[in-house]
Every structure is written in C-alpha cells, then in structure tokens.
Amino acid sequence: MSNVRTDLAVEAKEIYEEQNKGKIQGVEINEYIENDMKVIDVKITNEVGERSMGKPVGKYVTIEMPEFVQYDKDVMDDVGKTLAKVLSEIVNLEKSMTALVVGLGNWNVTPDALGPKVISRLMVTRHLKELVPDSIDENIRPVCAISPGVLGLTGIETSEIVKSLCDKIKPNLIICIDALASRKTERVNRTIQIGNTGISPGSGIGNKRMEISEKTLGVPVIAIGVPTVVHAATLANDTIDLAIDEMIKQSTQGSQFYNMLKSLDKAEKEKLINEVLYPHVGELVVTPKDVDIVIDSISKVIANGINIALQPALGIEDINKYVN
C-alpha cells in the first residue's frame, strides 16, 4: 500500500483487493442506501486489517453524494441529514458535554478551505451557555469552534494549538474537518468520509503533520473529510488506462500489445509516471475548475450535518435561522 495516494478507506480497500485478488482479513464492509445515497461502512477490526489498509483500527463511513449536488438545495439538505445520521451513531455525548469543532486547512487556498468555511457556518453555543444561560433552551449543547490555520501561516503545529485548547476548555469530543486527496477522479468533490480515528493534516498530499487523535489529545476525535484534489500522476495513470481500454475496443490488430500494457502493475505504472512527471511539475495535485462553487456548497452541507447531529433538540429550520 506504500504507493497508494489516497485518504479514503474505501479506496484503500479497493486497491488492496485489486493487488491481492481477495478480501482483506480484519476488515468488515457494510453497504446500504440512505436518502438515495450509497453509504459504505468500513470497519478495521484488528492489526491484520490495520497493516493491510495502512489505516488505524476504527470505523470509516463513506457517503457518495449525487452529481451536481451543489445546484439543488433539497439534495444538499438530504446529504446533510445523511451525514447527521452517520455522525449521531458515532457521537456519544450528553447534552451538557462540550464539543470542539476544528476547521483544518488554509483559507487562502480554495481546495484546502473546506474546514474554515464549515466553521463559518457552524452553530456555536458555548459562549451563550456560559454568558446567557437563561436565554437559550437548556437542551442546546455547548459547541465551540476554531480555524487554526496551517503551519506555514502560523508557525505553530495545528495539533499543538488544538492540544492547548483541549487543556484549557476540556471538550468531551473533537470534530475535525479537512480536505482530502482521492485515488479516483470520480470521487473528487463527490464523497464525504467520516472516521473515528482522528486525522493527520496534509497526509494526502505528502505533507503529513502531527496527528490529531484520541491517542495524542486524550479526547475522542471524529474526522470529516472531502477529497478535493487528485494527484497528477494518478490522473495521468487513469487517463492512460481509459485510452488503452478504448484502443482494445477499436483495434482489430495489436490488441495483444494493448492487453499487455493494461496488465502492467497499476502501482508500478503510477510510480513510473510520477518519476517522469516530477522533474517537470513536481508534486502536482489538481482540482476541478468549479472548485470554488463546490467548496462553498459542500461546506454548507457538512455544517448542517454537524449542527443537526450536535443539536438534536433543534430542527433544520431552527438551525438555518441561526446560521443564515
């Protein structure tokens, strides 16, 4: 799995099965439909599955969003409700317990601005519970939030900032939102992953920082991510595979040669492409041209999902009044 460039557990599973021609021991898969969306629940149950997947033991749920979700408010609400249902099954908080939501990423770079944008639409209530407790419903859960920026902007590791906050405010749960990298172009801006094992900011683009997890903070950490970029080498590899498939369909001669090309090991082929590209473009990652519209819409979806999950006493209409 060392050549795999993905943050998604479902893709790690697919790649392992392609390379090893079989199912992974120590990994349980459950697929179902929720609000007309495919939901894939991947559970890594032991060290065997952990080594095979390259991810810690835990739960990873992937929601596949409909195409062009950003242009339909009703569909956006459905995705938000689906996310809220998945989160509610993981979140284990009493109404008096505090949740800290952390928007990871660089707000100056659009594909990396998902976390900060979600924070800007979040229903934050901790200050109200402390300052005007008699003016709000007692069932409202205290929620606080921060967008700490990235190491290049602050000179401080994000995990150090979050650790300091934990020591001060002592939250009972942390939810982190971050942009991810995908192995497949069709999953870019179309997938939400929810995991209960924390996160290592920047790992998808080879810029791995100190992890934010229960192991490092002593507090349960839920990570929510959307793949917003794909590596250029991955894109080139997939394009070559599509071209070869088309040549095999259309060719009456030379199909044996094309089949030989198709049979080459995918990871080795991607490694070769990356070595060829690197001197010219470096570690290039790409994102769709409409990423600004997509990030704006998906941030609303994720914020709604978190708001619904953390404030079960309120309906989506009440939440929308607060945040809009």
Most confident of 37-41, 271-275, 285-289: 37-41
Most confident of 107-111, 178-182, 192-196, 268-272: 192-196
| CATH topology for the 9-233+284-323 domain | Rossmann fold (3.40.50)
Amino acid at 189: N
Q: What is the CA radius of gyration of the chain?
A: 21
Element (H, E) at 174: strand 173-182
Contact 116, 160 (CB under 8 A): no
Residue 76 has pLDDT above 60, yes or no: yes
Give residue 1's pLDDT. Answer: 44
Name residues whose C-beta falls within 8 Å of residue 135's C-beta, 6 or more positions apart in sequence. 128
- Token pair 């080795």: residue: 268
More confident residue, 70 or 35: 35
Contact 174, 102 (CB under 8 A): yes
Amino acid at 61: V
More confident residue, 311 or 202: 311
What does the domain layout of the chain look like in residue ranges? 9-233+284-323, 234-281
Give residue 2's pLDDT. Answer: 44
Neighbours of 41 (CB within 10 A): 18
Pairing mode of beta strands 27-34, 58-64: unpaired
Residue 278 has pLDDT above 90, yes or no: no
Mean residue pLDDT of the chain comes to 86
Give residue 27's pLDDT. Answer: 93
Q: Give the separation between CA 128 and CA 286, rounded to whole angstroms.
A: 41
Mean pLDDT, to the nearest integer, of 24-48?
93
Q: How confident is the model over 223-263, as pLDDT tens digits?
A: 999 999 988 877 777 777 777 777 777 765 556 666 666 66
Banded pLDDT at 295 (limits 50, 70, 90): very high
Q: Using DSSP, how many helices (H) and how many strands (E) does the chain show?
A: 13, 9
Contact 268, 227 (CB under 8 A): no
The rounded Cα 194 to chain-centroid distance in angstroms is 6
The rounded Cα 98 to chain-centroid distance in angstroms is 23
Neighbours of 181 (CB within 10 A): 24
